[in-house]
Amino acid sequence: MDPELEAFVPLFPHVDLNDPVGARASLAALSASAPAPDLTGIDVEDRMAGDVPVRVYRPHEAQGGIVWVHGGGFVMGDLDTEHPWTARLAAAAGAVVVSVDYRRAPENRFPAALDDAYAALVWTTSHAEDLGVAPDRIAVGGHSAGAGLAAAVALRARDEQGPPIRHQLLNQPQLDDRQETWSARTFTDTPWMTRDKIATAWRHYLPGAPASPYAAPARAEDLSDLPPAYIATAEFDPLRDEGITYALRLLQAGVPVELHQWPGTFHGSQAIPTAEVSQRQVTELVAALRRALAA
């Protein structure tokens, strides 16, 4: 493990997804401890995408936009916990960011979160002129469970002939409820993300029936005609191999993919901003979005 990251592992708060309320409070406290983002040159506004709360970040002279879906195992996270990242993404990428406050499990199981994320995409596309972006320069993206939801939004938009999606920005995506990959079976107690946490997240999210591809995109049999993707994975992450496998399957289906596997990292470790590898991760993620929206 990268020594700069390893030094922070003992400082992580305990998060128990079996206690959703407590887990949300822990994540909120961790997010609140982060430095306030620099909002110079960015207009921030809370809006409603139909029935879905969103927070819109509009940098001056934006060249495109992204519907951003926060992580948190389908259980944790909201507009405020994601605020430090979404503000930074908008500023660094020069993109309008529409951050989605989707309904969380277990109170709201699949497909509630997907419905909300998809509604945010439809709203963003229909309000593109108001937001100052071209309707054909809108991407979807997210971290972890949010990246899995973004991948599901892309599948649904393809299948329903929905809004065009320029790009998928999938950081450490949670895609497969089966937990059968080598990394899922081997990295059972890695920092921040463990096998038990992932199993609990899926148990909260899924309503009991076998997962559909819209719930777990790794189950999709056909990945053709999807938007180009940037997929990033962390070395010591149970989710690592499902992200890599999804990237390979997209490539085999004819979808352009940029895959970056970060050595020495673990799930969510890019949130440790002082580590050199974290800085490179964030720089690459932002650069991938800039390229996709400018192409």
The residue type found at 166 is: R
d(CA 137, CA 158) in angstroms, rounded, equals 16
The residue type found at 264 is: G
d(CA 45, CA 130) in angstroms, rounded, equals 13
Beta bridge partners of 139: 66
Determine whether 144 is an active site residue.
yes
Q: How many CA atoms within 13 Å lie on the side-chain side of 174?
A: 27
Beta bridge partners of 258: 230
Reading the block at residue 210, the tokens are 């076998």
Determine whether 237 is an active site residue.
yes
Q: Which of 99, 144, 183, 278 is catalytic?
A: 144
User: What secondary structure letter does DSSP report for 135?
Assistant: T
d(CA 1, CA 70) in angstroms, rounded, equals 25
Longest dimension (CA), the chain: 48
Q: Which of 99, 176, 267, 278 is catalytic?
A: 267
Q: Which of 2, 78, 177, 237 is catalytic?
A: 237
Determine whether 204 is an active site residue.
no
Residues catalogued as catalytic: 144, 237, 267
